[in-house]
Structure 1
């Protein structure tokens, strides 16, 4: 990744310098569902010092398609392999300071292939989708990508 100082000219003509964070590869995340449950990881993030629930996510390797990365990340982090993957949303999590793109998918037909990676999560659990709004209100989902993914999933699920 790099942090650059760009000379920016906005459409109205004003010019200024602006720092931009550039990441070389997009990232992916998966809302893994099974009926009315979602597979979540309980993990600690040292940068913020916070514990919270997250979806499986990570960066695409060089030349890797987002869907391939998504399936790989789910299995590496949770010990489950998704059988079906559908695009859910693509967004820029830090559009004001970065061009980084995150692709979120919904994964279904998950089957257990092994144990979760303890370096990735303290625990992996199937959580009732109806419990997620309460988790969000209590601050138990502090990760922005997870918030965007779960909020989108819950919104589209109810329409």
Structure 2
């Protein structure tokens, strides 16, 4: 049996800020009927970066996330400002969060993080040729910034040391499909 689209008959905003919006959309679910469905909308483009060097290391930040109460390693990430291209945004974020200025910023992959409830769309980039310019500008972003060898990154992915979804997705994509497609050579 083929699936069907869910027609939207109306929407109403419950909450809104420059960070996140919560909406109730009135939709018809085929075979179920009309319901109000919660939708989390993200008003700005989200970006992440897998940053590598010529030695095969990965630039990661270690930080605490108060929402989950967990420490973990993450790739640099952030939002595009209004009118800012996502590739420009991630170059800015890498520099602010790590103290390393990107040389090349190339598209890696993009995906919808939680398509059943949110329009959060992430664009991941591969950043290379970084130059150290100093300490990170935003000290609230990380307790540590380090270049980690690939074997350690893989171990962190396997053991839960990289609990952040966008970081996990970007690194896993880079280490898997990106390389298998020959783009990582």
Q: Quickly name the TM-score band, shorter chain normalised.
A: over 0.9
**Residues 26-72 of structure 1: CA distance to partner in whole angstroms, max 9, x if unpaired?**
11011011131110000000111100000000011111100010100
TM-score normalized by structure 2?
Answer: 0.81
What is the deviation of 1:153? 0.5
**Higher Cα Rg: structure 1 or 2?**
2
Provide the alpha-carbon RMSD of the alignment: 1.4
Match for 2:129 among 97, 102, 109? 109
**Residues 47-106 of structure 1: CA distance to partner in whole angstroms, max 9, x if unpaired?**
111000000000111111000101000000000011101100111111111112111000
Report 1:4-153 matches (<5 A): 4-10=23-29, 14-35=33-54, 36-116=56-136, 117-153=138-174
Q: List, as ranges, runs of 4+ consecutive aligned residues in structure 1 with deviation greater than 3 Å.
A: 10-14
C-alpha distance 143-31 of structure 1, shift in aligned 2 (>3 A): same
Moved more, 5-14 or 138-147: 5-14
Rounded Cα–Cα distance in structure 2 between residues aligned with 1:11 and 1:33: 46
2:52 alignment partner, SS class: strand
Number of aligned residues: 159
C-alpha distance 123-19 of structure 1, shift in aligned 2 (>3 A): same
**Greater relative contact order (Cα < 8 A, sep 6+):** 1
Rounded Cα–Cα distance in structure 1 between residues aligned with 2:30 and 2:133: 52
Rounded Cα–Cα distance in structure 1 between residues aligned with 2:114 and 2:121: 9
TM-score normalized by structure 1?
Answer: 0.94
Match of 2:179 in 1: 157
User: Runs of 5+ in structure 1 lacking a partner?
Assistant: none
Rounded Cα–Cα distance in structure 1 between residues aligned with 2:85 and 2:29: 32
Rounded Cα–Cα distance in structure 1 between residues aligned with 2:100 and 2:82: 23
2:68 alignment partner, SS class: coil
